[in-house]
Amino acid sequence: MKYLDEYRSRPEAERYARLLRSSVTRPWSLMEVCGGQTHSIVRFGIDSLLPPEITLLHGPGCPVCVTPVGMIDYAIELAARPDVLFCSYGDMLRVPGSERDLFSVKAAGFDVRMVYSAMDALALAEKNQHRQIVFFAVGFETTAPAHAAAVAEAKRRGLGNFSMLVSHVLVPPAVEALLSSPESRIQGLLAAGHVCTIMGTAEYEPISARFGVPIAVTGFEPLDLLQGIALCVRRLEEGRPGVDIQYARAVRPEGNVHAKRMLQQMFEIEDREWRGIGVIPNSGFRLRPEWAAFDALRRFGGSLRFPPAAGRSSECISGLVLQGLKKPSDCKAFGTSCTPEQPAGATMVSSEGACAAYYRYRSPFSKNLI
Amino acid sequence: MCLGIPAEVLRVEEDELRTALVSFGGAQKQVYLLYTPEAIAGDFVIVHAGFAISRVDPSEAKRVFDYLDEIGEPPPFAVPESGSNS
C-alpha cells in the first residue's frame, strides 16, 4: 500500500541502523509514547537493529490500557441495563473491571456491540429510536475529533437517544508526569505522530525545554521509528534539546486547526485517573455543560467508583510497564496466569499494550516467533 | 488505538461531514473528510476511526529517505572503501 510499504524497506532500515551505530557514543534511553509505536517496534524487531547503547522504554500511550477500572465498572453497569444498546471499540470488551468485563455482559445476553467508528453507533441510534444508545468514547487527542463530530451530528439529527461515556485522555500531561517522576530514566521522547496530526507541536516545546529532553514527533512504520530515534540521538549527542517533526508527511506544526476548533467547542479539561498510574491533573476531556444532554454520566446518573486494587492478579505489574519502568517479561504472571485470552492487566488486552505485543511476537508461546 | 491508515480519496460529497469514498489499497470504505476540507479526489489522507485526520503531503513523504543522503550515510550495498572504519 502506498505510504505504508515503502517505509518498511529493509535496506533503508539497515542504513539507519548503521547511522545509529556510527553516531552514538554513550548510553541513551528513549521512550516511545504511543502503543501503536510499541506494537511496531516489537513486531518488526526495531529494537534488535539498534546499537546496545540505545534502550527503548515503552510508554503509556494505550487508551485501552489506561482507562480506569471505575470507568470500566460504570460501563458494565450501563451495558447491563435492558434499555441500553452499548457500543464500544472491540479492544475495550476484554479489559478487566473490578469483577468482570464487558464481554461477559454481552455473553450474559445484553446488547453490547463492537463498532469501528462513533458514526456506526450514531447509525444504530437512528435505527433504534426507542432504545438508549451509549457509545464508550475512549481515546487520545487523535480520536476525540471523531467522537466530537458524532455528538454534533446527533444534535443536528435530533437523536435524543444517543449519549457518550467519555473517557478521554491527553498525552502531554502524562508525559510531564512521567518526566517529573524521580524514577524517570527518559532522556528522549518519540512523541505520538497521530496525536500530533491533531494537536501539532506547540505543547511539546515547553516540555522539551523544561526537562531538557529532545522530542521527535514520530510515525509508526519501521523507517519512521528509526529516523525518530536518529533525530533524538543526534540532539542528545550534541546536547541540544528541541522538537523535531519526523512524521512530516502527516503532521504540521499547528496541527489540524479544524479538528482543534471542534475539540474546543465540545470538550473541557479535567483531572483524570490513569489505570496503573493514578490521577494526573488536567489530563482528560469531558463534554462541556452545553453538551450535557449527550453525556451518559449525566443521563444515567450514579458516580464512578475507584476501587483500589486493579486486575485479577496481585502479581500484575502493568502499572510499571505502562510507565516504562519494567518490561513485560519482568512480570511473573506474563504468559502464565496472564495471557491475551485471560488478561490480568489491561496491557495484555489491547494489541497496543506492551504485554500483548511481547506475548504475540516475543514469548515462547508466540505463534509468530521472529 | 490511534491507528491511522493512509487511503486514497476516490469521491467526496460536499455534505455536512464531507462523506467520502476512499480506498485502502483497493478496499473501499466510506469515511468523513470533515477535518480535511482541503482533501480532494486523488489525494491521500490518514484515516482514523472513520475520519480523515490529515492529508498526506507528498513533498514531505520522501524525507525519511532523503535524511540518510543528507547526513552522508552511504546507500545500501555500497562497498566500503578500504581503510574505512564506518
pLDDT digits (tens, 9 = 90+) for A191-239: 999 999 999 999 999 999 999 999 999 999 999 999 999 999 999 999 9
pLDDT tens-digit profile of A69-103? 999 999 999 999 999 999 999 999 999 999 999 99
Grid look-up 501503536 returns: A36
Q: Say if CB A132 and CB A163 are below 8 A apart.
A: yes
Q: For residue A19, which residues of chain B lie inside 8 Å, CB to CB?
A: 68, 71, 73
Beta-carbon separation of A143 and B71 below 8 A:
no
Confidence of residue A344 (pLDDT cuts 50, 70, 90): confident
Beta-carbon separation of A3 and B6 below 8 A:
yes
Contacts of A187 (CB under 8 A, 6+ apart): A28, A29, A30, A213, A236
Q: For residue B73, which residues of chain A lie inside 8 Å, CB to CB?
A: 15-16, 18-19
Q: For residue B17, which residues of chain A lie inside 8 Å, CB to CB?
A: 149, 153
> Closest Cα of chain B to A248: distance in Å?
6
Rounded Cα distance between A246 and A253, Å, is: 11
Higher pLDDT, A359 or B75: A359
Q: Between A64, A117, A223, which is nearest B50 by CB?
A: A117
Residue in chain B lying closest to A259 (CA): B35
Q: For residue A227, which residues of chain B lie inside 8 Å, CB to CB?
A: 64, 67
Q: For the residues B12-39, what does the mean pLDDT come to?
A: 97
Residue in chain B lying closest to A262 (CA): B35
Rounded Cα distance between A163 and B68, Å, is: 49
Instruction: Return the SS3 of A51.
Output: coil
- Can you give the pLDDT at residue A306? 66
Query: What is this model's ipTM?
Result: 0.93
- Can you give the pLDDT at residue A139? 95
Residue in chain B lying closest to A257 (CA): B35
Q: Three-state secondary structure along B65-82? A: HHHHHHCCCCCCCCCCCC
Q: Say if CB A2 and CB B25 are below 8 A apart.
A: yes
Confidence of residue A182 (pLDDT cuts 50, 70, 90): very high
> Closest Cα of chain A to B12: distance in Å?
17
Q: Does B67 touch chain A (CB under 8 A)?
A: yes
Strand partners, A269: A285
Beta-carbon separation of A15 and B76 below 8 A:
yes
List the A278-287 sheet strands across, edge first.
A112-114, A84-88, A132-139, A162-169, A278-287, A267-274
